[in-house]
Structure 1
């Protein structure tokens, strides 16, 4: 049948409605509601503190490993200073064996860091010698994550 014949029981409008879809206003309203829901609900599923703690842990482990490698590569003692919420990598100001320790320059990939709400424990100052050995051996806790430094070898072991 090529032509549809409309009778009085079926108005022409009902045959046009078979191609009906959502209007642009309806789609925008739904997207707006989904956006508001996402902005409110999604942050409740993720705890940002866990990510911050892991990032601080990874940074401190990397910094301690870097300090050990710097001591071996330069042949000069390298000191790591850990406080409750910061770390610093230091070397002698005047040459390899004299002068006070000072923070290494920012030209190095890591030099200092600050993790205000995250606690580093214990607050410790230790040195890596030219052979990579550490004056400290024990566990270091960053938030609720820990790693250890083996004094005899300077090895940094993630626990």
Structure 2
């Protein structure tokens, strides 16, 4: 009569191997830094797209500034002659009425500052590009107004 099954040594070895894999590999899947970097990149990308759409819709030039401290949208020039009309360098209001700006609270590495102004046709002056997280994420704003994001 032949009995089949695993020996206690084989079972212990499988448990040890699984413990090593879980200690080394699993933290890489749950590293929050990658998610935080992607989230900040998406925030800046969203603000650039919003600035372009607002410039086209309002007919007023909008400037986007993004650097290692955060991002903000401002009016590039006076918009209208009334006292309540937006003036140059004033912060743009977001849809909820607050200032459209954000802080780089995750300390995402940015290779250089991004400063782009969109005109009433949606074109960008000057064309610019910026890399986040050592080149993992790239944001390119072409002079035609085309906004390219990779990946």
Q: TM-score w.r.t. structure 1 length?
A: 0.64
- Are residues 1:125 and 2:147 paired? no
Q: For residues 112 and 148 of structure 1, what CA distance do their matches in structure 2 show?
A: 20
Q: Across the two proteins, how many residue pairs are aligned to each other? A: 120
* Structure 1 residue runs of 4 or more that deviate by more than 3 Å after TM superposition: 96-99
Query: What secondary structure is seen at the aligned counterpart in 2 of 1:100?
Result: coil
Structure 1 residues 108 and 136: alpha-carbon distance in aligned structure 2, compared to 1, 3 A threshold: farther
Unpaired runs of 5+ residues, structure 2, are 1-22
CA contact (8 A) 1:86 1:115 kept: yes
Larger radius of gyration: 1
Structure 1 residues 59 and 70: alpha-carbon distance in aligned structure 2, compared to 1, 3 A threshold: same
Post-superposition CA distance 1:31-74 (Å, at most 9, x none): xxxxxxxxxx6972411100000001111111101101110010
- Are residues 1:100 and 2:91 paired? no
Which residue does the alignment assign to 1:154? 145
Q: TM-score w.r.t. structure 2 length?
A: 0.67
Which shifted more, 124-133 or 68-77? 124-133
Deviation, structure 1 residue 100? 2.6
Deviation, structure 1 residue 92? 5.3
Structure 1 residues 101 and 48: alpha-carbon distance in aligned structure 2, compared to 1, 3 A threshold: same
Q: For residues 54 and 75 of structure 1, what CA distance do their matches in structure 2 show?
A: 31
Which residue does the alignment assign to 2:14? none
